[in-house]
Structure 1
């Protein structure tokens, strides 16, 4: 994993079993980055299922429809937040898996683009191991578009592709945080809230691109994907499980 700027030390894996709340979950990733860059924690992988959230990008807040978009989210039971990394609005809820990977690094910015490519392919590999026809690359009309998004192809309708994973990165002096959101179950509320919020913002997109892993392979759930992600990580790094409480000390 060193080719992506990932250290050779053991990667501590922490499964957070309950959401801390939408805002606290988002902030906690930034706090972990602070701990990593100052050497208080080593390479750490945090996995959790979030509360319903729409994470807007900084550019979204400057659009005239942002207030209406935020209100539309609240009306559908999603908390609108503004994230420090990433592009346009992305939605997630309890049916998604968030993977926060933090590492201390003396020159974190040098490998920034390489990490997008590396983790995109690694997450696609994890999904393929569960039977999903997954690949890396932006699909036309996707929400929060990105060159290294991970999409899946519908086995029954090969022309249909849906975005399954969005990634974002925050790089600071001394460390980096790479966050991945994998939509696994219950895609309908995500399509609905994105339709409302993107409409308020005046942004074009294709709602058909918003889907979930189990839209393509119905037997899969969040636990199965979490296990697959950890298994795939184990092919690239030594893993050391730890309790979530160890990060809150």
Structure 2
């Protein structure tokens, strides 16, 4: 079943890994909502979207409820990071030029895809992408990482990736962030400092992670060899071709652009509301 999910007759490829500062992280969340809607109604084929954003901290809804959020956000901005709140679950993560994000966007109109199956499909894809580097990983929660979860991916206890899902209008976006290069521990230290300031020693109903920078690393660090985002992108396209899938590189259609404008406005409004406390 997992392999059949990845062996689609056609995959649309939307590569947004090289757009740089012209592409804001809020646009990414509007993109995936748009694709969920159009693919869920089968107006578009299954899509793989790849994206990179420079120096951005993406907070979760629970993070926006921290007692001293303003001071925490100010610290992140002083370190040169944009700060946004996403429109789905999870907690704070770091995005930068060394972090590759992938979204598999699928429809449930013809075939029901349960939550675990969606996650396992992304795990399998990651295994295939890392084979050339001889990297085998575990799937288990790393509780002292940032944004810990059941589908954390780690090697020797060091997390390099996390997986999430968003479901909307019959479409499913299975999303992963892969720390490809750079320092995993430096990214984790940034989030540790954020929580220290934003929580400010106060009791909270929600339990936020006690981030340990020593439990996070990039793939380049773990493989002890340089790995670039473009290397994984080449591996991704090769893998999809090997599934006998037709690959179609494209942007949003005219009808999708209209939906995108709607979702972007909603994402921007929610973000402003979450941060203006």
TM-score, length-scaled by structure 2:
0.77
Other-structure match for 1:214: 220
State which of 68, 72, 78 in structure 2 corresponds to 1:69.
Answer: 72
The unaligned stretches of length 5 or more in structure 2 are: 200-207, 258-277
State the number of aligned residues. 242
Structure 1 window deviating more from structure 2 (103-112 vs 119-128): it is 103-112
| 1:225 lines up with 2:228 in the alignment | no
Distance change (3 Å), C-alpha of 1:2 and 1:192: closer
RMSD of aligned Cα (Å): 2.6
Q: Does the Cα contact within 8 Å between 2:7 and 2:240 map onto a contact in 1?
A: no
Q: 1:237 to 1:197 in 2, by over 3 A?
A: farther
Matches within 5 A, 1:110-149: 110-149=113-152
Q: Is the 8 A contact 2:40 2:171 kept in 1?
A: yes
TM-score if structure 1 supplies the norm length? 0.84
Q: Counterparts in 2 of 1:1-249, with a 5 A limit?
A: 1=1, 8-16=8-16, 17-19=18-20, 20-106=23-109, 110-153=113-156, 161-187=157-183, 189-202=186-199, 203=208, 204-217=210-223, 218-236=225-243, 238-244=245-251
More helix by percentage = 2
Structure 1 counterpart SS, 2:50:
strand
Runs of 4+ in structure 1 off by over 6 angstroms are none
User: SS where residue 178 of structure 1 aligns?
Assistant: strand
For structure 1, the 5+ residue unaligned runs are 154-160
How far 1:130 moved relative to its partner?
2.2
What SS does structure 2 have at the residue aligned with 1:129?
helix
CA distance in 1, matches of 2:228, 2:60: 28
What is the DSSP-based 3-state SS (H/G/I as helix, E as strand, rest coil) of the residue aligned with 1:64?
coil
Q: What is the rounded CA distance, in whole Å, between the counterparts of 2:155 and 2:131 in structure 1?
A: 9
Change in Cα spacing, 1:216 to 1:8, as seen in structure 2 (3 Å) is closer
Distance 2:51 2:112 in 1: 26
